[in-house]
Amino acid sequence: MFSFGFFNMPNLITVLFIVNIVIALTIIFLERKNPSATLAWIMILFLLPIVGIVFYFLFSQNIARKKIFKLTKYEAEVLGGSLHEQTNSMINGSFEFTNKESKKWYDMIRLNQTNALAYFTQNNSISIITDGKHMFNSLLEDIKNAKETINITYYIVKYDSVGRTLIDALIEKAKEGVEVRLLLDAMGSRQINEKRLQDFINAGGKAAFFFPPKFKCLNMKLNYRNHRKLVVIDDEVGYLGGFNIANEYLGKVKKFGYWRDTHLKLTGGCVQDMNARFILDWRFASKEKLVMAQAYYNEPKEVGITGIQIVASGPDSPREEVKQGYLKMISSAKKNIYIQSPYFVPDASIMEALKTAVLCGVDVRIMIPCMPDHMFVYWATYSYVGILANLGAKIYIYDNGFLHAKTMAVDGEVGSIGSANFDIRSFRLNFEANAFIYDAEEVYKLESIFEEDMIKSHELTRSLYRNRPLIVKFKESVSRLLSDLL
């Protein structure tokens, strides 16, 4: 038998077993993870001792106790004071709402104010964009017209024809003297490095990477990514939603075909809140000492009456801000709930709220893609929507390419569009940003888009789901066990 003194096979197995026990006890007693996540990690550690240990150290760091985005004392006082003043004016009835949807959903606005520290603005105008070419062309045009600043955050920018077009456009603006900041997630945008951005940096552009690896081939924060897609130009125009920057998002990759996503172009006071979010992310990643208050230096233009709250969430906070917004919308629904998400792996609270809504007679419709880009996530998604289909929810499988939209519309009055999927990863692990929208006209557009997509989908009926093949049931069972880790 293999043996080198103490390091023989039986001793190594014993050591691995002890290490697994120590890690399991650490998970249970020190990290205070969600119970289902705890059980999933313990299962992996004991079934795959060596692989489980590696996975644990790569994917299971707990950063909830770390204060990543720090406000100065002055910033905390000013921003907290403004939010407190707005909240009090709503409580005492002196706040004037510009549309009836905002007033009706005051309790949800209050939730986002309290839980997410999200200021409510109602002087906004939005355009809902569902086509990648339209989004990219609009973005390039606004970049071309920029006069002072361009602040960009993306989870994915690839070094393909679309990514290089964006970088070239930013180089030109930097040469013109526009202050350009480009923040990329180090894992999602791993094709981009400082060498490939050298022309941009030489032109005067600034670049930073979120959670870059300390070692070239080993990133100890694989599980915590900046998934936000956020652009602010000249403090006046903002973009937020599901589109990243790569060929597939414009339908140029055969594997996915047409890429169906949802994005927002925004103007009004909410753009200041988006810019404040960017500054916080940028300060952490770049260490540049920007003043967050500069996001609010200019008086926002009165461009519309759409009520909006920009809600950000991430693993540094235990409050699950975007998820709580989703949960409030679902639990308050009286007529209908329309959800689109490429990944539907909800936690117990969201799942129970949806079940309750279905049983109460609310018209619950959920749309997912017809193809997986992450196999385990897809089959977990299939199992969860199957449960809801059995209860009476209407489940649609989008057949016209890949559905990547992250949207929800409720009762024709309130909606959400952003980067957060309906999955545990978006709720607890990724840094996300969503716009919560209070405006019947805009939410009606969101519902109409869903109904148009239904024409390009097939329904997963109760009978179809119950008669699924045995191999599908097996895939679902395995994937469900790993739900909290996907």
Which of the following is catalytic: 227, 265, 323, 475? 227
Of 160, 234, 316, 373, which one is the catalytic site residue?
234
Residue 445 annotated in active site: no
User: Is 234 labeled as catalytic in the residue annotation?
Assistant: yes
Residues 6+ apart with CB under 8 A from 141: none
| Candidates 158, 173, 221, 229; catalytic one | 229
Active-site position among 263, 404, 453, 475: 404
- The verdict on whether 252 is a catalytic residue reads no
265, 323, 406, 475: the active-site residue: 406
User: Is 334 a catalytic site residue?
Assistant: no
- Is 242 within 8 Å of 262 (Cβ atoms)? yes
- Sign of CA pseudo-dihedral 103, 267, 156, 409: positive
CA dist 124 and 273 (Å) reads 12
**Catalytic residue list contains 214:** no
Partnered with residue 237 across adjacent β-strands are: 233, 267
| DSSP β-bridge partners for residue 153 | 183, 230
Q: 3-class SS at 310? A: strand
The residue type of 183 is: L
Q: Distance between CA 109 and CA 77 in Å, rounded?
A: 21
What's the rounded Cα separation, in Å, for the pair 175 and 152? 17
Q: Long-range pairs for 165-168 at CB < 8 Å and ≥24 separation? A: 165/136, 165/140, 166/136, 166/139, 166/140, 166/245, 167/196, 167/197, 167/199, 167/200
263 classed as catalytic:
no
Residue 169 amino acid letter: A
Catalytic residues: 227, 229, 234, 404, 406, 411
